[in-house]
Amino acid sequence: MKYQIIFLIFCVSLFSCQSSKEDSPTSIKEVDICIYGGTSAGVVAAYSAKKMGKSVLLVEPGKYLGGMTTGGLGMTDIGNKYAVTGLARLFYRRIGEHYNKFEQWTFPPSVATATMNRFVKDADLDVLYYRRITDAQVQNKKIEYITLEDSQKPDEKTLILVKAKQFIDCSYEGDLMAK
């Protein structure tokens, strides 16, 4: 009888340990394309991929999208504006709409931020703010998934795993590639 009770206690404790791992609060997101870094390049890459019918997740470690473009670098230094085409041209034309002009090449951070947010809204992008990469699982030179933590309050209980067919590093420092 004594051994049966010990065995029962062992089984119950083993079961409770296993179930706590299964009930882990870590969430998993799966998308076609995960873009790490909400710089201008990141927003435009996410916008483009979503418009092409892909499921997209844009991950930004901070609070704002647009990087230096929305952070105060609002003076475009270019000799030939006709060399700028595609979505970059669309950005300048959307800035121009704010000023009732065809296009505008200088702008304050607030107008750039509103324009970036318009790209996000127009494509109905899924954006994770305040998430930074802590790990990347690579197999055969291909990223299988990345692990993200809350950049304001790091806690293992709130980790997010992102699985994607394609990862794009749009951080300025190459944070994803470094992992």
The CATH number for 36's domain is 3.50.50.60
Q: What is the mean pLDDT of residues 5-17?
A: 41
In a domain, 81, yes or no: no
In a domain, 96, yes or no: no
What is the sign of the dihedral through the CA atoms of 56, 61, 65 and 70? negative
pLDDT at 76: 81
- The pTM of the whole model exceeds 0.85: no
Q: In what order do the strands lie in the sheet with 142-150?
A: 126-129, 56-60, 27-36, 160-169, 142-150, 131-139
**pLDDT bracket for residue 35 (50, 70, 90):** very high
Taking residue 74's Cβ as centre, other Cβ atoms within 10 Å add up to: 18
Q: What is the pLDDT of residues 58-112, one digit of tens each?
A: 999 999 999 999 999 888 877 888 999 999 999 999 999 999 999 999 999 999 9
In a domain, 92, yes or no: no
In a domain, 132, yes or no: yes
Q: What is the pLDDT of residues 117-147, one digit of tens each?
A: 999 999 999 999 999 999 999 999 999 999 9
Residue 119 CB burial class (10 angstroms; 0-12, 13-18, ≥19): buried
**How many domains, the chain?**
1
Structural domain including 50 reads 27-75+108-178
What percentage of the chain exceeds 70 in pLDDT? 86
